[in-house]
Structure 1
Amino acid sequence: MKENLNDLRAFLMVAQTGSFTKAGAQMGVSASALSHAIRAIEERLQIKLFHRTTRSISLTGAGEQLYAELSPLFEAVDASIDHLGSFRNTLRGSLRINGNSHAFAHVLRDKLQAFIGAHPEVEMELVSELRFVDIVAERFDAGIRLDGDVAKDMVAVRISPPLYLRVVGSPDYFARHGVPQQPDDLAAHACHSTRLPTSGGVLSWEFRHPESGAKVLFAPQGRVLANSSEVLKNLTLAGQGLVWLFDEIVRQELDSGALVSVLDDWAMRYDGYYLYYPNRRMNSPLLKALVAALRE
């Protein structure tokens, strides 16, 4: 019995997203229609592929085996179709990239816009979030991460210059509360930060000792937590505390004098952003073109 390829793609999508709703949204069909299609496959195969509860679904042992065998086959088919673009002297296909708003909106903005403009037949999905994701499990073609801290089976290419994070506040705030001279002094200030999406903890501020080079961590104690750098910046512009943000996010305000950077000799320097992807995808024409466009 031969299965319809569209049905098998539907199975892969549900397995990858772990949700009929999410898979249906990506495929442009309703969750109920997708659930019905999966049940039909199970009935034809006479094998249960998913465990279902009212809140979640997960693969059975048979489902895991089918997924492990089908995934590389469909990836190979997609790659073969992508390679046909060389005969048309153009790139065609889609790319899903996971990163964060700082990388997309500030550091890589011009490079990404140039890539999109140069390849009108390439569809791009840029997913911005704070958490680290498993790009393979969540169907991303590539991810963007600071300092290239990625798994060994990934290819990592540096795509940005070194980056700095700065502690900033308004002149009015410093006039009222004084200027910290070292990280320990920050304990006396309202330091607003971000809650980590994975662990639930609060993002620690990182510094580099100006003499020894040792990393120094500070746990902020501000009253406000926000996962948006713009929200944190606006809070600081209003004179309501200090924040720790990438230089690019506050560069305009620093140049205008609306914000002031402190502890600059302690500022943490990072190697830069890296684009990373599975080594089995290293021959993808789309990824090669993206790497060429973003490479530092």
Structure 2
Amino acid sequence: MPLIRLPAPSRTVTGEGKRPHRITLSDHALQTTVWPKLRPVLLDYPDLRVELHSDNGMRNIVEERFDAGVRLGESIDRDMIAVRIGPDWRLVAVASPDYFRRRPAPKAPQDLVGHDCINMRQATFGGLYAWEFAKEGRDLRVRVEGQLTFNTSIAMIDAAMSGYGIAYVPEDLVSHHLLGGRLELALDDWSPPFPGYHLYYPSRRQVSPAMAVVVDVLRYRN
């Protein structure tokens, strides 16, 4: 990847007027990775315009005229330049202690069939997300059922804490609830990590000075 020279912080860093740089990403990527990194730096670049389009779909950034997108590393097309911006993370199955007192915790993914589960509606295709598990080289996808379906992880977590069933959500969003005893973990050994989030953009597109700032700020350095 060619070296990108970054301009010093100034009010004329972009040189592109007030056109916003549009990035599509999930609500989880926005909350845990992109916004925490951008928030303190934007004060140094007051003329840098960024539009963060949050949904859980798989957008075509070329057709929909986004400057970049954020996805897991395993799901990015090969004709894109991808820059890692976050660590590996995983989804975990959680429910309230009250729910697991009423219904024994599942020991294997197949046991979810007999449970109330909180579904996630996928934005791109409109279908329900099939929960993905893996253990010792064995991959399983389970389609679950339950009373509730959402399209955001935050609502799923709230429903799980209220005792409505099992949710399959990013671990970093529920770690404090697990430590506080408000949620309990199930199927821990069936929940492997995903490759971390990557910022991606077309390889044939020249990187603007403003986009170079965004790329450098978001780059994962651990």
Q: Aligned residue for 1:103?
A: 29
Distance in 2 of aligned mates of 1:98 and 1:203: 19
Correspondence 1:200 to 2:122: no
Distance in 1 of aligned mates of 2:67 and 2:57: 17
Distance in 2 of aligned mates of 1:215 and 1:91: 47
The partner residue of 2:91 within 162, 165, 169 is 165
Q: Aligned residue for 2:13?
A: 91
TM-score normalized by structure 2?
0.88
What fraction of aligned residue pairs are identical, expressed as a percent?
Answer: 36
Correspondence 1:218 to 2:134: no
Bigger radius of gyration: 1
Q: Aligned residue for 2:191?
A: 267
Distance in 2 of aligned mates of 1:292 and 1:163: 21
Q: Aligned residue for 1:67?
A: none
Distance in 2 of aligned mates of 1:199 and 1:163: 24
Correspondence 1:242 to 2:166: yes
Native 8 Å contact 2:116 2:166 kept in 1: yes
* TM-superposed deviation, 1:281: 2.8
* TM-superposed deviation, 1:197: 2.4
Correspondence 1:177 to 2:177: no
Classify the secondary structure of the residue corresponding to 1:280: coil
TM-score normalized by structure 1?
0.67
5+ unaligned residues in a row in structure 1: which ranges?
Answer: 1-82
* TM-superposed deviation, 1:203: 0.3
Classify the secondary structure of the residue corresponding to 1:239: coil
Amino acid at match of 2:165: G
**Runs of 4+ residues deviating >4 angstroms:** none
Q: Aligned residue for 1:291?
A: 215
Between the two proteins, the alignment pairs up a number of residues equal to: 211
Higher helix share: 1
- Root-mean-square deviation (CA), in Å? 2.0
Amino acid at match of 2:107: Q
* TM-superposed deviation, 1:215: 1.7
* TM-superposed deviation, 1:200: 2.5
* TM-superposed deviation, 1:173: 0.6
Correspondence 1:227 to 2:151: yes
Q: Aligned residue for 2:60?
A: 134
Distance in 1 of aligned mates of 2:106 and 2:35: 33
Native 8 Å contact 1:181 1:263 kept in 2: yes
Native 8 Å contact 1:169 1:259 kept in 2: yes
5+ unaligned residues in a row in structure 2: which ranges?
Answer: none
